[in-house]
Structure 1
Amino acid sequence: MARGGQGLARVAVVVRAGAAPMWWLGVVAAGVGVLLPGITGRRIGVLAGAALFIVVAAAVALPRRKRYAALARGTVRAGRNDVLQDRAVTTRNWRRGHRWWLLLAFLAALGSALAVPAAGGMVLAGAGVGLWLKAAWLGRRERAGDELLWVRVDWLSTRGGSPAGKPVKAYRSTGIAAGDATPGGRRRKPAALV
């Protein structure tokens, strides 16, 4: 890393990193859970799971918006020596750091199917959808402010790696074209050759 620079990861990419694994693990757990009759029966399990899916998606998507907004208002422009982390690296680091939690959540969702079929898997999938919704909300803020939001990588390595956690003092910002991810954390499509 260049002298005086900081490694920076995209805020929306960090938020979005857990969405796909939670969604797919939840879908698999719900699919397996539907095959089991469970204590409550399939119909009650699926209906309870659908209600929990909506509640969990909202519970993941809505909290801490004030904290994200406050950090976004206090952005500092990224310096010339700051190093912008690739989307793939940020996603891989988050998933490696949380792989055991994801495995435990998946096993818990599978185990809950013995009592309430499919509900645990739908809860896990709802958490993934909530993360996608939060990343999309961040993307709208980035487009409105015409800037991308970045967080120091060393602040992510403490206390669970939340981009809105206590160690995070401020975000850095760049122009909307910086990095390899669009506002909201999606992979940027390569420019078409003319």
Structure 2
Amino acid sequence: MGRGAYALARVAVMVRTAGRWCWWLGALAALAGAFVPGLTGRRIGALGGAALFLVAAVAAFLARRRRYAALAQAATHAARSAFLQDRRVTARLWLRPRRWWLLLAFVLAVGSSAAASAAGGMLLAGAGAGLWAKAVWLGRWERSHEALLWTRPEEALRRGPAGGDVRAYLTTGPAAGDARPGGARRVVSPAR
């Protein structure tokens, strides 16, 4: 990078990555737990898991939503010296410090099936669904404002893209980077 240049990571990509990992690990843990009768039985475990799924989804969706909105409203345009991180790089940097926490959450979700069949996995999957819904909400904001939200990755590394270390969001035009509004992969149609 040149002098004065700095990296930026997409906010929605970080949220979407968290949601995807929680969803798939939770779904896998719930599937494994469905074969364990548990102390409460499969039916009660599944019903309790469904309730936990909904509670976790709503909680993950609403968590720090005001902070996201405030940072988005106060966002300023990124300088030309900004280096936009690829979607894969952002996802990998988000995952690296959190992989052991995700593994621990998966093990606990599978282990909780001994008490309530599949409930722990559904709780984790619900958190993933709520984070995915938050990424979709961010995507709607980006579409309506015709701007993509970015943040400095070193600020978001420890406590996430809306944590206390994040001082500001920056914006670019909607065509910047390799991810669409909401953090999904941008599909490039082949040239004819």
Superposition TM-score tier, normalisation by shorter sequence? over 0.9
In structure 2, the residue matched to 1:52 is: 52
Report the aligned-residue RMSD: 0.9
CA distance in 2, matches of 1:70, 1:18: 21
1:27 aligned partner, one-letter code = A
Per the normalisation by structure 1, the TM-score is 0.96
Confirm or deny: 8 A CA contact 1:2 1:82 kept in the other structure. no
In structure 2, the residue matched to 1:75 is: 75
In structure 2, the residue matched to 1:189 is: 187
**Alignment of structure 1 residues 49-128 onto 2, 5 Å:** 49-128=49-128
Deviation at 1:171?
Answer: 0.6
CA distance in 2, matches of 1:20, 1:102: 12
In structure 1, the residue matched to 2:152 is: 152
In structure 2, the residue matched to 1:176 is: 174
Per the normalisation by structure 2, the TM-score is 0.97
Confirm or deny: 8 A CA contact 2:156 2:162 kept in the other structure. no
SS at match of 1:43: helix
Q: Name structure 2 gaps, 5 residues minimum.
A: none
Q: State yes or no: 1:167 paired with 2:165.
A: yes
Confirm or deny: 8 A CA contact 2:159 2:165 kept in the other structure. no
Q: Deviations over 1:26-72 (max 9, x none)?
A: 11111111111110000000000001101100000112111111111
Deviation at 1:19?
Answer: 1.5
Deviation at 1:24?
Answer: 1.3
Deviation at 1:179?
Answer: 0.2
Q: Name structure 1 gaps, 5 residues minimum.
A: none
Deviation at 1:9?
Answer: 0.1
Confirm or deny: 8 A CA contact 1:39 1:114 kept in the other structure. yes
In structure 2, the residue matched to 1:24 is: 24
Between the aligned residues of both structures, percent identity stands at 57
SS at match of 1:95: helix
CA distance in 2, matches of 1:21, 1:65: 20
In structure 2, the residue matched to 1:139 is: 139
CA distance in 2, matches of 1:139, 1:21: 19
